[in-house]
Amino acid sequence: MPYAPIDGHSTRIMRSAMCRPMSAVQISHSSGVPVAVAFRRIRQLVAAGMLREELRVVNTGGKEIPLYAATLNCGYVFVEDGRLRIRLSMNGDAPEASGAERML
Average pLDDT over residues 70-78: 80
Regarding whether 9 and 24 lie in a shared domain, the answer is yes
What is the per-residue pLDDT for 40? 95
Regarding whether 41 and 55 lie in a shared domain, the answer is yes
Regarding whether 39 and 21 lie in a shared domain, the answer is yes
Count CA atoms closer than 13 A to 81's CA, side-chain side. Answer: 0
Domains in the chain, number: 2
What is the per-residue pLDDT for 98? 38
Regarding whether 66 and 76 lie in a shared domain, the answer is no
Q: Is the pLDDT of residue 62 over 80?
A: yes
Regarding whether 62 and 21 lie in a shared domain, the answer is yes
Regarding whether 93 and 65 lie in a shared domain, the answer is no
Structural domain boundaries, residue 89: 72-104
